[in-house]
C-alpha cells in the first residue's frame, strides 16, 4: 500500500508478503462450496472460507468499491462429516491451504486493478510458509473471470453483496439489508 501506514498487511525485505495471522477475527465474507463428490473436476475441493480485513470491509460498505490496501484471505477446506441432524450433506473438515490477494496499485502497477496473489502452503513440510512472493500468472488469469474482469469474486460472497454501499455505520443485520430474500416459503415454515 506504499506510504499509507494503515495497510493491514506487511512486506518483508525480500519484497514478499508476510503471511497474515489473525484473519479468523476479520470479517467473514462467504464460503464457496465445490464438493469433489458433486463435481470431480472442481479445481479446489471442497470449501473456500473467505475473509476480508475489517477496515476494508467498512470502506466497501460505505463506498461500494475496494480501497487501496484491501486484503482477502482464503482457506481451502476439505469435507469432513457427511451427515448431521439436518440430514446428509457436506460439513467442513480440515483446512489444507492458505492464500491471499491484495489491492496495491503502488507496489503492483502492472497487475489488473493492482490485485496481486500469494500462497502460503509448503506441502513437503506440511506447514504454512512465513511469506510469499507475488504469484501473478495463473492466479490473475483465472481471476479475470470475476465480474469486474479482474480481482475478487465479490459477487459470490453473500456478506459483501448485502453490505455493498449499505452506508457507514449501517448495522450488521438482515433488517437493515432488505430483510429475508426471498421470504421463506410457507411449506418450509410449517416444518420448522
Residue closest to ligand HEC, measured at CB: 32
Number of residues located near ligand HEC, criterion CB under 6 A: 20
CA distances to 37, 71, 87, 143, 187 from 56, in Å: 35, 8, 37, 19, 40
Q: Which is nearer to ligand HEC, 28 or 62 (CB)?
A: 28
Stretch of 3-11, 121-129, 150-158, 159-167 contacting ligand HEC, by CB under 6 A? 150-158
CA nearest neighbour of 128 among 76, 90, 56, 164: 76
Q: Does 159 bind ligand HEC (CB under 6 A)?
A: no
Q: Are 46 and 16 in contact (CB under 8 A)?
A: no
Q: Which is nearer to ligand HEC, 41 or 173 (CB)?
A: 41
29, with CB counted inside 10 A (0-12, 13-18, 19+), is: buried
Q: Are 153 and 146 in contact (CB under 8 A)?
A: yes
Q: Which is nearer to ligand HEC, 133 or 167 (CB)?
A: 133
List of residues contacting ligand HEC (CB under 6 A): 32, 43, 48, 50, 72, 74, 99-101, 117-119, 135, 138-139, 142-143, 152-153, 156
Amino acid at each position: 500500500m506504499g506510504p499509507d501506514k494503515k495497510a493491514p498487511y506487511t512486506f518483508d525485505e525480500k519484497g514478499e508478503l508476510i503471511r497474515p495471522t489473525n484473519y479468523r477475527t476479520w470479517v467473514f465474507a462467504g464460503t464457496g462450496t465445490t464438493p469433489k463428490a458433486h463435481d470431480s473436476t472442481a479445481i479446489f475441493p471442497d470449501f473456500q472460507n473467505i475473509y476480508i480485513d475489517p477496515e476494508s470491509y467498512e470502506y466497501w460498505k460505505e463506498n461500494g468499491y475496494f480501497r487501496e490496501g484491501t486484503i482477502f484471505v482464503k482457506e481451502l477446506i476439505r469435507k469432513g462429516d457427511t451427515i448431521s441432524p439436518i440430514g446428509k450433506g457436506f460439513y467442513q473438515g480440515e483446512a489444507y491451504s492458505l492464500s491471499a490477494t491484495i489491492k496495491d496499485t503502488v507496489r503492483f502497477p502492472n497487475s489488473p486493478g493492482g490485485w496481486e496473489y500469494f500462497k502460503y502452503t509448503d506441502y513437503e513440510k506440511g506447514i504454512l510458509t512465513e511469506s510469499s512472493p507475488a504469484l501473478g500468472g495463473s492466479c490473475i488469469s483465472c481471476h479475470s473471470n470475476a465480474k469486474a474482469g479482474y480481482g475478487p469474486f465479490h459477487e459470490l460472497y453473500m456478506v459483501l453483496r448485502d453490505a455493498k454501499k449499505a452506508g457507514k455505520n449501517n448495522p450488521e443485520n438482515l433488517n437493515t439489508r432488505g430483510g429475508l430474500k426471498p421470504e421463506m416459503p410457507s411449506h418450509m415454515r410449517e416444518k420448522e
